Amino acid sequence: MLATSYLDSLFHFDYKYIKHVNNDQTKQNRLVDVTRHDGCKESKGKRKSSLFNPTIPEPRPHQPHAPIRQTLIPQTPQDHFGLDPIHTQNQQRIIRRIHFHRVDLRRVRRRRAGSSEDPRGVPGPVSASRARNSGGAAASSWGLGFPVDCVVYDAFIPWVLDLAKGSGLLAAPFFTQSCAVDCIYHRVYCGELKVPVRGSEVVVVPGLPPLRPEEMPSFIYVHGSYPSGFKMVTDQFQNIDKADWIFVNTFYKLEEEVINCMSRTWKVKAIGPTIPSMYLDKRLHDDKEYGLNIFKTTTDVCTNWLSKKQPKSVIYISFGSLAQLSVEQIEELAHALTTLNKHFLWVVRSSELAKLPKNFSEESSEKGLIVSWCQQLEILAHDVVGCFVTHCGWNSTLEGLSLGVPIVAMPQWTDQSTNTKFVVDVWRVGIWARADEKGLVREGEIRRCIKHVMEGDGEEIRENANKWKEMARDAVDEGGSSDRNIEEFVSTLVSSLKGVN
């Protein structure tokens, strides 16, 4: 059994191959999905005979991905999912022995140590520390009635690795930010990079381009701004050397140098981009969505509106589910959109609507559509979208890059400045809309950047965007680098468990 665990906000971990099987298939290695329920509204889709794709979080990406893509929502621990043939035309390579089970992971503060509340709940850090001293007894604490073989866990909850190793299990963290950002945080954790990074100091990290302070994650150059966030991102590495594999939501060609550097120390497997198949390789016809939204979407309204526009003529603007722009910044953006005289689709969360200039929605209705939330992949995949104005959270960055949409970056915090550095100077698929001394990206700068990526001057950016789109698709297609990494993991896992189960 392979256990997988995540936090509240959600990212994909794309196994590609897991399919619902009947409950009478027994004596097989099993997968467990260890999730935490904190009031996050799930989709009501029924279980399907389709691929299993657990989701795992970053510190709040744009798209709140579902804990299980395809809206697979088992209701009891007895539901399980088995591996479909990895390549249906190559029967010699069929792997059938791993199954998925779901377990409910509760917040530690909601569950007293030693309490009998919901025995299916997975132990928290306190119980994990006890597990290290209890040997095989920890396996029964999962409350499943059968042994666990391997755990894939969100890197933001590193205590799961201690629990797994205390039970003698194989285990692998899933990192949901870029390898570049992970590498920076690791060096901070090890004391090799002192924080805060200040002034004109240029930071050199193996596998990365030279970085100025403002190109580092905000936790690094604005030290103390979010102490709990800083601790969370660095604690991912507190026990990482015990891991049997390390999974990252990226693909090899995208971060080749830093992946090679990390691979000298750990068994790193890039398995991204973890985007539904129908937006990339199109091998899985029922794999069209992540499966969950924390806000009500307006997909039909958006697609109907887009269908009436010319190719590459629409600006799409979204700053994700967490970023809060100031009133002044929203006004600058609104004025830029008005004077550009281009069609735009702007996601403004309900909590932010009051910041829009008075009567802006009505006055711009001929050119623009303002919605509180949407299915981002549907928008980015539409052929009329020619520009993505984004905060450059890792998930939004991967989606824009994988779907070939040129980017105008307006990073806000966390890893977004580092992602922007790569978007602009390494992958060359976008432009950085620079803030002034007051921290505002002015109307003129926004207008300049959008015109650059959508009109003649941005031809190289548009060509590069198409190039990376093809490489992202190749990575997850049959025989691609991410496809091979997933297959190798499953094959190695099955081989290591032969004779055990």
Contact call for residues 51 and 452 (beta carbons, < 8 A): no
pLDDT of residue 141: 45
Identify the helix (H) or strand (E) that includes residue 303. helix 299-306
Please say if the pLDDT value at position 360 is more than 80.
yes
Pairing of strands 98-105, 81-83: antiparallel
Looking at per-residue pLDDT, the higher value among 391 and 17 belongs to 391
Looking at per-residue pLDDT, the higher value among 1 and 364 belongs to 364
Whole-angstrom distance, CA of residue 30 vs CA of residue 34: 13
Whole-angstrom distance, CA of residue 395 vs CA of residue 245: 22
pLDDT of residue 127: 47
- Identify whether 196 is preceded by a cis peptide bond (ω within 30 of 0): yes
Q: Would the CATH topology of 2-177+240-279+477-497 be identical to that of 299-474?
A: yes
Contact call for residues 237 and 185 (beta carbons, < 8 A): yes
Residue 247 φ/ψ, nearest 5 degrees: -100, 140
Please say if the pLDDT value at position 179 is more than 90.
yes
Lowest mean pLDDT among 31-35, 67-71, 128-132: 67-71
Mean pLDDT within 144-162: 86
Lowest mean pLDDT among 184-198, 233-247, 432-446: 184-198
Looking at per-residue pLDDT, the higher value among 437 and 78 belongs to 437
pLDDT of residue 142: 56
DSSP-assigned beta bridge partners for residue 83: 18
DSSP 8-class letter at 12? B
pLDDT of residue 91: 30
Mean pLDDT within 17-24: 32
Lowest mean pLDDT among 74-88, 140-154, 221-235: 74-88
CATH class for domain 299-474? alpha beta
> Is the model's pTM score more than 0.75?
yes
For the residues of 271-286, what is the DSSP string, one character each?
Answer: ------GGGTT---TT
Whole-angstrom distance, CA of residue 31 vs CA of residue 396: 28
Closest of 480, 427, 465, 468 to residue 281, by C-alpha: 480
- Side-chain half-sphere of 414: how many Cα atoms within 13 Å? 22
CA angle 314, 319, 321 (to 5 degrees): 125
Confidence bin at 488 (pLDDT 50/70/90): very high
Looking at per-residue pLDDT, the higher value among 50 and 317 belongs to 317
Confidence bin at 277 (pLDDT 50/70/90): confident
pLDDT of residue 251: 98
Please say if the pLDDT value at position 140 is more than 80.
no
Please say if the pLDDT value at position 114 is more than 60.
no
- What is the rounded average pLDDT for all residues in the chain? 77
CATH topology for 2-177+240-279+477-497 is: Rossmann fold (3.40.50)
Lowest mean pLDDT among 59-73, 121-135, 310-324, 358-372: 59-73
329, 332, 334, 337: CA torsion to nearest 10? -130
Confidence bin at 1 (pLDDT 50/70/90): low
Q: What is the pLDDT of residues 250-274, one digit of tens each?
A: 999 999 999 999 999 999 999 999 9
Query: 251: which 2 tokens?
Result: 């693909």
What is the domain partition of the chain in residue ranges?
2-177+240-279+477-497, 299-474
Residue 256 φ/ψ, nearest 5 degrees: -55, -50
Query: 307: which 2 tokens?
Result: 């269908």
Closest of 124, 131, 170, 155 to residue 248, by C-alpha: 155
Query: 230: which 2 tokens?
Result: 């800083």
pLDDT of residue 240: 96
For the residues of 309-331, what is the DSSP string, one character each?
Answer: S-TT-EEEEE-TTT----HHHHH
Whole-angstrom distance, CA of residue 151 vs CA of residue 493: 11
DSSP 8-class letter at 84? P
Confidence bin at 75 (pLDDT 50/70/90): very low
pLDDT of residue 81: 31
C-alpha 295 chain-centroid distance: 17
Please say if the pLDDT value at position 236 is more than 90.
yes
Please say if the pLDDT value at position 45 is more than 50.
no
For the chain, the first-to-last Cα distance in angstroms comes to 10
Please say if the pLDDT value at position 449 is more than 80.
yes
